[in-house]
Structure 1
Amino acid sequence: MTFPLGGVVFKLASTLSDGDIEPFYVYTSVQTVDITRNVKFLERGIAASEIHYIHRALRAVSALRKRLQPDVLGEVIATYSASTNQQVVSDCLKSILESVGQHTGASAASAKVCEPEVAMYFGLLAQLLLLDGNEYERGAQLSNVLVAMVSSTQRRTLDPVASRVFFYYSRFFEVVDRLSDARSSLMNALQTATLTSMKETKAMLLTLLLRNYMHYKLYDQAERLAAKTSFPADAPNNLLARYLYYMGRIEAIQLNYSQAQLHLLEATRKAPLNATTAGFQQTVHKVCVIVDLLMGNIPERSLFRIPILRKPLQPYFELTQAVRVGDLSQFQEVVHRYQDKFLQDQVLVLVQRLRHNVIKAGIRSISVAYSRISLRDICLKLHLDSEEDAEYIVAKAIRDGVIDATIDHEKGFVKSAEIHNVYATSDPQHAFDKRITFCLNLYNESVKSMRYPGGDHRKELAYADEAIKREREFAQELENEDFDDDVDGDAMDEDL
């Protein structure tokens, strides 16, 4: 016995194995109805030129992906055809049917006309089927057909579907290790999307091109692309967060740590901190921790206590401890132990740059603890190779302002300057003046924002009152004219 419930079918069985009799429920999905419902949303969005209907159909793709079958998709596609002037759409439908292993077609009398957005939606579902079925070569071939269709069809309602098609297009080529072959197509599509104002597709293509360049370590080209293009301001948050992450990685490699830190922090704020975005948050925070250490900052310990970040950031927590205490031997031991992990996360180059920060932190702690210390003792404490290296490193730290000391080259020791009482200087006065100025400016801006508008709005109100009065007078005149007409008509009837 079967009965429908909420778009699915539940089958009631009365027998179990081993002869036990007990009722249970078997879940069977009705995918044809789901796909057809989403297609109706697409058609409604196309007819009304409303993007939110198309987004509503695309939001159901993730749930539909888990229970999608090739024969069901082929059955739905078979009820559609393309009109004679849409040969590209017709060829696309044939390619989709061939990719999912279906060769059926609808009769010319019963076939419905298929819009390009609907055909692209079917192609997106076929891409998911091939990706989940590990049929990457067939997926790459189908993606080429879909990309060609996007380039030949320039419609605003195609923007949301096209952006997702391009994502899986790049994904297929990345899995088969031919990501460089997709670069020219992505560049051409970016130019077309910019000219046709397809903002979501443009945002997706920018992130895909940055990932493409980073995959082959072409950081200079990625930086030039970001400098010559502008990311759409109203792009979805997921694309913006991904774009900011890639920009942070590029800026970090290019030694621009301050901009990298801003981009990475904004990327973490754009993506919510939950189980759904756990992978992205872990990836971003790994780079963000290293960038903070390269800038001379120490990340907060509370960051490493967040449940979804605690285990993935354990190597970075030990790395932070080594940098904080300035222990070079501990730092080298941590890097050696987690070298494969850092290499897998593609941050080993940035981690190796931290060696100078560890040495600076060690020199700073030594300068605070000792008023006078020999270069040989510094070499032993920091585990340096020779006293010449220690002398060079201390001299550079003095020049960079890390410590306030002098080097006696003849006797071979470092003498730290006396620590002055900071409250005897004018530094506290400047600090308080800066804070007071900030508070006063904030207060003034708040007062300005709470002020009532001027008297200009009263003119508009007076004009509105006059307009309402004129409308009432006009309506009253119309009523009087109708009354006069009725009176004349009655008089004529009496005369007759």
Structure 2
Amino acid sequence: MTNPKSEDSSVVPMDIVPTDKQDDGASKPDPVAAFLLDVKINVGFLEKAVVAFEHRYITRVLRNLNTLRKSWTVDLLAQVTTQHVADDYYKALYLSNLGAASQSMELDSSSQQKPVSEVEAYFGLLIVTYLHDLNQLDKGLKLSSILVESIRASNRRTLDQIAARIYFYYARFHELKNCSAEARPHLLAAQRTATLRRDEDTQAMLLNLLLRDYLQHNLYDQADKLVSKTTFPESAGNNQVARYMYYLGRIKAVQLDYTSSHRHLLQAIRKAPQTATAAGFQQTANKLAIIVQLLMGEIPERSVFRQPMLRKSLLPYLHITQAVRVGDLSQFQETVATFGDVFRADQNLTLISRLRHNVIKTGIRMISISYSRISLRDICLKLQLDSEEDAEYIVAKAIRDGVIDASLDHEKGYMKSKENADIYSTAEPQNAFHQRISFCLNLHNESVKAMRFPDGVDRKELASANALREEEQKLAKEIIDGADLDDDDDMGDF
């Protein structure tokens, strides 16, 4: 009897099966053969996704992109392009960008607007990514622009995920060449088109790209208007949701809405990958979250600064937190002067400058706890303020805001602290309890929205529920009919 596995030679072509063997008999992986096999499998998945209209195949293909980036070369990309790209125009275009175009192939400038299919778009994404890795900005910008124009001429839902990646590199090349303002009108037009076509993958990507561009140029008003006029798709991936929440958190922080900003930043940190590949995003989001938490009057947990992935990058923010916690204005100013370049590079220096008032309020709170009566001059010396008038103004504002419970004597020039009242007789415990309940309810609602069920399960459950309901109604009717017959028999006997 023959082995059925040996007869099926169509699964893996013999010309790309790794044949190298080690001394112990174990197979030695061949990176070239593995690359060719992965590309061939990905092309098969793309064709299957088009026929079956299944987006999960395209998702699987895009997840394999990082694996291909580790082993590809110009020769390998040119080889797979020649083998799998059927359209002569795109084949010549890709080979010319790789520097491997033959003399017989010439680009037809009149066909640049022709629609692109899934396979051609996938290989275009591979070559654009390759040019980005080599920092060939001119070639990458030109090729990505051609692909974007071709994608606009197409209206295929199986192209959505690949189109979103191409738009990312299109914006990235403009950003690296310091001409992102030129791409902004095209991104806005593409976002409107994606909204009309219900292209949620491209829509989520373009929203994040536009918000990133606005925030880099400090156009917070335009970013806020874009957020208010658009709706982020609910079916977007966690990576895009995490970026969107981070941008919302930064916008709200600049607009002094620290509570909403902190909530958005926590969601961004939770939804972002917790692996080393997303270390940069985790560090950036945690830096902003720490500043916002300090502006809210809260002190971050010590465990945040002890995480191995965040420990080194959060060291300047740890010194800022320590200065705010003890209310030491001199330590705060010294930390800002020492790490000013770091804060400026993180685009957080403006928010950190707002913490000076929090440091002063913390110092006043510590003074009110330590002294039952203290002169304004002593407060001015302890907080290193310019004059007693500034100290009087700051103390009066702290009393008005409820930071301290004290009274101010303007004529004699002193502050008198009142006795500490029982906090449980105030509304503070109720407010804290309400905040925790709201957080738990929001977490429950987000968890319910994130739940996914297999297709058709709800229909089966509905059919079984309807059948069970009909059976119960039939049984109840039989019971009623039987009861009526029993009543008739009783009446006859009577």
Do they superpose with TM above 0.5? yes
Residue pair 1:81, 1:106 contacting (<8 A) in 2 also:
no
What is aligned with 2:363? 362
1:453-495 Cα shifts (integer Å, max 9, x gaps): 9x98743336899xxxxxxxxxxxxxxxxxxxxxxxxxxxxxx
Deviation by residue 1:271-328 (Cα, 9 ceiling, x = unmatched) = 2322222221111000000000000010011111111111111111111110000000
Q: 1:244 to 1:342 in 2, by over 3 A?
A: same
Matched position secondary structure for 1:134: coil
Distance change >3 Å, CA 410–CA 236, structure 1 → 2 = same
Please give the secondary structure, in 2, of the residue aligned with 1:78.
helix
Distance 1:7 1:306, change over 3 A: farther
Normalised by the size of structure 1, how large is the TM-score? 0.79
Counterpart pick for 1:461 among 471, 476, 493: 471
- Which residue number in structure 1 is paired with residue 421 of structure 2? 420
Residue 261 of structure 2: aligned partner: 260
1:18 is aligned to none
1:53 aligns with 2:57: yes
- Describe how 1:242-321 pairs up with structure 2 within 5 A: 242-321=243-322
| Structure 2: distance between partners of 1:137 and 1:432 | 57
Q: State the structure with more CA Rg.
A: 1
Which residue does 1:36 correspond to in 2?
40
The secondary structure found in structure 2 opposite 1:277 is helix
The answer on 1:70 being equivalent to 2:74 is yes
Letter matched to residue 103 of structure 1: A
Deviation by residue 1:349-404 (Cα, 9 ceiling, x = unmatched): 11111000000000011111111111110011001111111111111111111112
Q: Which consecutive unaligned segments of at least 5 residues does structure 2 have?
A: 1-12, 106-114, 445-461, 476-494
Q: Given the superposition, is the C-alpha separation of residues 336 and 434 from structure 1 closer, same or farther in structure 2, using an over 3 Å criterion?
A: closer
Secondary structure of the residue aligned to 1:29 is helix
How far did 1:170 drift? Answer: 1.1
- Equivalence for 1:351: 352
Query: What are the within-5 Å matches in structure 2 for residues 74-473 of structure 1?
Result: 74-80=78-84, 91-104=89-102, 116-422=117-423, 425=425, 431=430, 458-461=468-471
* Inter-partner Cα distance in structure 2 for 1:237 and 1:371: 53
1:60-92, Cα deviation, whole Å (9 max, x unpaired): 11100111122222222224565xxxxxx6544
Change (3 A) 1:370 1:11: same
Distance 1:318 1:133, change over 3 A: same
**TM-score, L = length of structure 2:** 0.79
Q: 1:12 to 1:80 in 2, by over 3 A?
A: closer
Distance in 2 (alpha carbons) for counterparts of 1:211 and 1:120: 25
* CA–CA separation in structure 1 for the residues paired with 2:269 and 2:381: 41
- Sort the Cα spacing of 1:407 and 1:38 in 2 relative to 1 into closer, same or farther, 3 A: same
The answer to whether the 8 A contact 2:160-2:202 is kept is yes
| Matched residue SS, 2:234 | coil
- One-letter amino acid of the structure 2 residue matched with residue 303 of structure 1: V
Tell me the matched-pair count: 426
Change (3 A) 1:398 1:457: farther
In 2, distance between residues paired with 1:45 and 1:456? 35
Shift of 1:178: 1.1
Q: Is the 8 A contact 2:376 2:388 kept in 1?
A: yes
Whether contact under 8 Å (1:32, 1:73) holds in the other structure is: no
Cα pair distance change 1:7/1:416, threshold 3 Å: farther
Mapped to 2, the partners of 1:352 and 1:426 lie a distance apart of 32
Distance in 2 of aligned mates of 1:396 and 1:381:
18
CA contact (8 A) 1:245 1:263 kept: yes
Distance in 1 separating the partners of 2:164 and 2:378: 61
Q: 1:256 deviation in Å? A: 1.1
Do the aligned partners of residues 237 and 343 (structure 1) sit closer, same or farther apart at CA in structure 2, a change above 3 Å counting? Answer: same
Shift in Å, 1:433? 13
Question: Do the aligned partners of 2:116 and 2:151 also contact (CA within 8 Å) in 1?
Answer: no
User: CA 1:457 to 1:333, structure 2 compared with 1: closer, same or farther past 3 Å?
Assistant: farther
Quote the offset at 1:8 in angstroms.
Answer: 6.9
After TM superposition, give the deviation of residue 95 of structure 1 in Å. 2.4
Q: Contact conserved, 1:78 with 1:106, CA < 8 A, in 2?
A: no
- One-letter code aligned to 2:92: K
Q: Is the contact made by 2:116 and 2:154 (CA closer than 8 Å) also made in structure 1?
A: no
CA distance in 1, matches of 2:51, 2:348: 49
Q: Structure 1 CA distance, aligned partners of 2:262 and 2:54?
A: 38
Shift of 1:408: 1.4
